[in-house]
Amino acid sequence: MSKPILIVHNAHILTMGDVETAEAFAVDSEGRLIAVGKNSDVLNLNTAGVKTLDLNGKTVLPGFFDCHLHLGWLGDNLGHVDVSADKVKTKDDILRLLKARLEERPNSEIVQGSGYDQNRLPGGLHLTRQELDTVSADIPVRVIHTSGHAAVVNTLALQKLGYWTADNPTGGEIVRDEKGEPTGVLLETASWENLDRLSPPSTVPEFIDSLGRASDYLLSRGITSASDANTTTSQIGAYAQAAAQKKLRVRTNLMVSWSEIMRGLRDRSGVPTPDSMQPRESGVTWHEVHVGQAKLFSDGALTTRTAWLTQPFAGTTDAYGIPIHDTEELEDFILEAHLAGWQIATHAIGDKAIDTVLHAYAEAQKQKPRFRPGHRIEHAMLLDDDLISRFRRQLVWSIGQPEFIARLGDAYLTALGEERANRLSPYATLENQNVAQAFSSDCPVVPGAPLDGIRAALLRKTPSGYILNKSECVSIETALYNYTTSPAYATQTDRDRGTLETGKLADFVILSENPREVPAEEFERVRVEATFVGGEQRYGDTV
């Protein structure tokens, strides 16, 4: 046994492993746990120079693992104007904040707001280009929807994007009024393609700095491992550089944009394998940053009414959402990733999108059977009994975001109607049907605090107080497992994280209270007090 450099004792440790609780553990110089057990046993390892940490009975958990969020996007958003529902109540509030930012930074090349949600504004109406023109007609103004699947821009931005007379791009829509003129609302691919026409892309140093901001944000929420759910090939090296510079301070699993890769190939002889995509930065270990999954999108979001449904959105007869790919292309991309040995993670929210992805996974497995490839469906929201059975039979992961219910649930009721909305995210049924599932946040779509997500999974309460199918509330044990241990299995990193057991990485969070003993209605009082990665404290007051 290697020698300890840190001993944590007198704690209430929820190991999430085979031995449910412990009182102490020891960490070696490699940042791994070398002993977990009773105070007396672990303290016997104490020798000169070993730091000891007496937690006086505080609760310790494995570090939270958010296995689906967007680090780069989060870092960028932290530099934008916050126009989320926590900050604004009306359109005028949004315009006032954007104008204030331009007054503060008069030489800006663009003004951007993030967290926008028209569903939380009076009347549920979108901003318009004319309203954003009042912020500025001389530089682009762009307000990004909280879902990441839409944006609203001013007139100049539409012109710079070439959208004034353009046809809709594949997988997107330039929303137009009755005169045929753009309203400023852009959906799906129209909202994120060609952005270099509005402002120069971030430099590598700027991107690295944004990852540093995002890391600090996540650590403050107890997150020690995270998955960036849509990484371009050009960003992989920047992630490795950020880790080498100690700015990326959470363990990071990257999901590489598979459509970008496939569309960039001259022929299929060059399809990359997971090993070929790993970062090569000197001194950066696989445990710090690695490429894990091939990421695809099959549809949009419910809040923007771009999720792909079998039945139209409420109040319409022909609005079924927007598939990002035609079915043949999506199936082709999935097959090529499967054949190349990838674990595939596909965004699918609507029931039609989920059905299409499950079918594509099944067909790929028929062509080349692989033992438990671990394919995932991200979000997997609108489900029925048949789809749930197919998840179980095909051994496909469901990656859910309970915080969506607490933040966006009322918009789901409006978009789908009560019956379908109550079918969303059936976490308890998935658990009872033995479907593999893990929880995450999709931050910055929502703030991304695991403790808030746990509370949402326990209560399923929307912002207005509506309970979205009480029978789908889960137990505290399930919620904790799905934010710690299960994400490690879902990312195939369970050999070194997800539990506090001997041999695992010493990634842990100290909480103000034992979450198992706090009533669900009072769960908001549980706080993160400190976060450790590899035995090193990276957030909180010195303990």
pLDDT, position 2 = 86
Chosen domain end from 144, 173, 197: 197
CA dihedral 500, 63, 468, 191 (to 10 degrees): -140
Q: Which domain holds residue 26?
A: 4-62+504-540
Closest among 540, 500, 493 to 225, alpha carbons compared: 493
- Claim to verify: residue 20 and residue 104 sit in the same structural domain: no
Q: What is the pTM of this model?
A: 0.94
Residue 161 lies in a domain: yes
At 536, which CATH number? 2.30.40.10
Residue 249 lies in a domain: no
Digits of tens for pLDDT over the chain (543 positions)? 688 999 999 999 999 999 999 999 999 999 999 999 999 999 999 888 899 999 999 999 999 999 999 999 999 999 999 999 999 999 999 999 999 999 999 999 999 999 999 999 999 999 999 999 999 999 999 999 999 999 999 999 999 999 999 999 999 999 999 999 999 999 999 998 889 899 888 899 999 999 999 999 999 999 999 999 999 999 999 999 999 999 999 999 999 999 999 999 988 889 999 999 999 999 999 999 999 999 999 999 999 999 999 999 999 999 999 999 999 999 999 999 999 999 999 999 999 999 999 999 999 999 999 999 999 999 999 999 999 999 999 999 999 999 999 999 999 999 999 999 999 999 999 999 999 999 999 999 999 999 999 999 999 999 999 999 999 999 999 999 999 999 999 999 999 999 999 999 999 999 999 999 999 999 999 999 999 999 999 999 877
CA distance 543 to 532: 11
- Claim to verify: residue 186 and residue 154 sit in the same structural domain: yes
- Claim to verify: residue 52 and residue 145 sit in the same structural domain: no
- Claim to verify: residue 28 and residue 124 sit in the same structural domain: no
Residue 110 lies in a domain: yes
At 116, which CATH number? 3.10.310.70
Closest among 330, 324, 295, 293 to 308, alpha carbons compared: 324
CA distance 329 to 352: 16
Chosen domain end from 163, 178, 197: 197
Residue 95 lies in a domain: yes
- Claim to verify: residue 193 and residue 93 sit in the same structural domain: yes
CA distance 408 to 278: 36
- Claim to verify: residue 99 and residue 187 sit in the same structural domain: yes
Judge whether 270 and 233 are in contact, CB under 8 Å. no
Name the domain count of the chain. 2
Judge whether 66 and 223 are in contact, CB under 8 Å. yes
- Claim to verify: residue 106 and residue 190 sit in the same structural domain: yes
- Claim to verify: residue 33 and residue 135 sit in the same structural domain: no
- Claim to verify: residue 103 and residue 148 sit in the same structural domain: yes
CA distance 499 to 507: 9
Residue 376 lies in a domain: no
Chosen domain end from 174, 197, 220: 197
| Type and span of the H or E element at 535 | none
Residue 305 lies in a domain: no
- Claim to verify: residue 38 and residue 99 sit in the same structural domain: no
- Measured between alpha carbons, how far apart are the two ends of the chain, in Å? 26
Residue 284 lies in a domain: no
- Claim to verify: residue 104 and residue 19 sit in the same structural domain: no
Token look-up 């753009």 returns: 182
